[in-house]
Amino acid sequence: MLFNQLGLSAELLRAIDEQGYKTATPIQRQAIPLILEGRDVLAGAQTGTGKTAGFTLPMLQRLQYGTSNRRRVRALVLTPTRELAAQVAESVRCYGKHLPFRAAVIYGGVSINTQIAKLRKGADVVVATPGRLLDHLQQGTIDLGAIECLVLDEADRMLDMGFIRDIRKIMQVLPQERQNLLFSATFSKEIRRLAADLMNAPTEISVATNGRPAEGIDQVVYQVDRRRKRELLSHTIGAQNWRQVLVFTRTKHGANRLAAQLESDGLRSAAIHGNKSQAARVRALQEFKNGKVRVLVATDVAARGLDIERLPHVVNYELPHVPEDYVHRIGRTARAGHQGHAVSLVCVDEQKLLADIEKLLQAKIGKKVIPGYEPDPRIKAEPITMGRARRFSGKKKSWRGRNSSASSKGRNSGGRRSLARQT
């Protein structure tokens, strides 16, 4: 189905055409008409299926033909990470370029004062992470009393990261009469409970859920000893002349170490994770996109929401503890109908993790042994430690006032953060 068959306005169709898009994806075909009708929508969609445009386009059209509230926020999009917030805000800017709307993006890791200044100028659409939005609410620098549309993007990840209390606090200050849109890769009991509290008789739609990745991803497992993973990764990148590779590790320290090792192998690399400043993360991502950096090493949380057009290769240097994270990782490639390649380097310690992933996928992943890198059968499996961040996942620090002596610890420029939320 073409976009011009979905009932979108001329201004939006012009912006879509300028982006080079003609045909709507399945989630867009299902979601856009429902949202234009004003319905609450509970949508299941994996990353890379076009879900951002699926809610951004009809949201902007409803604002276009709705009642104007000058200098008041009319639409709020909540996302789990800074990167995803920036991506959604960019989509709002691109698709709304021919409409008279102002958008603001709010997240931690940067100065809150710059955000306050932008909000004072007026914003029709705000894209935010929950913690920093609560900072603004506490300081009285944002008014959400005129919200017409609330979007929860990647709601499953927000629950995984411990944002449920923040979301409920935000819901308490929103008007009762509003449209609610919830997008999630999975429909867990917690997601359905949140939807029941949040939404009014929602229409449920689903595309590529139940743990299955988007179409077009060629998946393969390279079996290799743990100590030879980095060597095999460097060899593969060089031998196959991969020019743009996103590599996932479990920990921030592991990401730093691997990026440094790959640099020593002659591969221009950068790491992106929660301990990096927002400026450093933006710079690393931009250099990766423009080809200055060949390998971007990332943790799961930092990479959530990364939108890299035509990214050809994703590598799981270490398998994730949570099987669903595997689907999110490899979903960075094969976006918007393009083909992609996902490689997992799996040692004997990770066989249980691999089995859990295959159970989720309901399919076996093809396995290869690269000549010269054959696993040593004498090596026995060892337990994989969960790591500090995972052990504390979901546990939140208590809120302390801004004048508390401890209030600045774990915070960045006013960002309200817990161990589980250091994205």
**What is residue 206's predicted lDDT score, i.e. its pLDDT?**
83
Instruction: Say yes or no: 193 and 222 in one domain.
Output: no
The residue count of the chain comes to: 423
How far is it, in rounded angstroms, from Cα 16 to Cα 152?
Answer: 23
Both tokens of 137, joined, read 């609410």
Angle at 119 (CA atoms; ends 117, 125), nearest 5 degrees: 150
Give the residues across from 313 on adjacent strands: 245, 341
Q: Are residue 175 and residue 284 in the same domain, yes or no?
A: no
Enclosing H/E stretch for 157: helix 155-160
Position 304 scores a pLDDT of 63
The verdict on 199 and 115 lying in the same domain is yes
Q: What domain range includes position 198? A: 3-207
Same domain, 103 and 229: no
Task: Give the chain's residues under pLDDT 50.
Answer: 387-423
Q: Tell me if 379 is assigned to some domain.
A: no
Give yes or no: residues 163 and 231 share one domain.
no
CB under 8 Å to 14, separation ≥6 — which residues?
A: 98
For residue 246, the cross-strand partners are 296, 314
CB 24 within 8 A of CB 50: yes
Residues with Cβ within 8 Å of 177's Cβ and at least 6 positions away in sequence, in order, are none
- 278 residue type, one letter: Q
List CB contacts of 5: < 8 A, sequence separation 6 or more: none
In a domain, 391, yes or no: no
Tell me the C-alpha distance between 341 and 334, whole Å: 8
* CATH classification of the domain holding 79: 3.40.50.300
d(CA 269, CA 259): 5
Residue 366 amino acid letter: G
Nearest to 217 by CA among 32, 366, 384: 366
CA distance between the termini of the chain: 37
- Provide the CB-side half-sphere exposure for 285 (13 A, CA): 23
Whether residue 253 sits in one domain with residue 159 = no
pLDDT digits (tens, 9 = 90+) for 127-161: 999 999 999 999 999 999 999 999 999 998 898 88
The 3-state secondary structure of 172-202, one letter per residue: HCCCCCCEEEEEECCCCHHHHHHHHHHCCCC
Indicate the residue among 207, 232, 249 that finishes a domain.
Answer: 207
Kindly report the backbone phi and psi dihedral angles of residue 20, in degrees, each rounded to the nearest multiple of 5, phi listed first: 90, 15
325 with 300: CB under 8 angstroms? yes
Q: What pLDDT is attached to residue 71?
A: 67
Question: Quick check: is 397 in a domain?
Answer: no
| SS3 state of residue 37 | coil
Q: In this structure, are residues 161 and 299 in contact, taking their beta carbons and an 8 Å threshold? A: no
Predicted local distance difference test score (pLDDT) of residue 210: 52
**DSSP 8-state code for residue 398:** P
Owner of token pair 């976006």: 335
**Domain boundary at 323, 352, 368, which?**
368
Report how far residue 16's alpha carbon sits from residue 393's, in angstroms, rounded to the nearest whole number: 39
pLDDT of residue 19: 86
Give me the torsion for CA of 164, 168, 170, 176, rounded to 10°.
140
- Is 420 contained in some domain? no
Q: For residue 229, is it within any domain? A: yes
Does one domain contain both 275 and 187?
no
Quote the CA–CA distance of 29 and 328 in Å, as a whole number.
22
Number of domains in the chain: 2
Query: Which of 152, 186, 207 is the last residue before a domain boundary?
Result: 207
Does one domain contain both 153 and 270? Answer: no
221 and 203 within one domain = no
Residues 313 and 186 in one domain: no
What is the predicted pLDDT for the residue at 278?
A: 77
Residue type, 350: E
pLDDT value, residue 288: 93
| 199 within 8 A of 180, measured Cβ to Cβ | yes
Residue 410 lies in a domain: no
242 falls within a domain: yes
- Distance from C-alpha of 408 to C-alpha of 399, rounded to nearest angstrom: 11
Same domain, 229 and 117: no
- Pair (155, 271) in one structural domain: no
Q: Is residue 380 part of a domain?
A: no
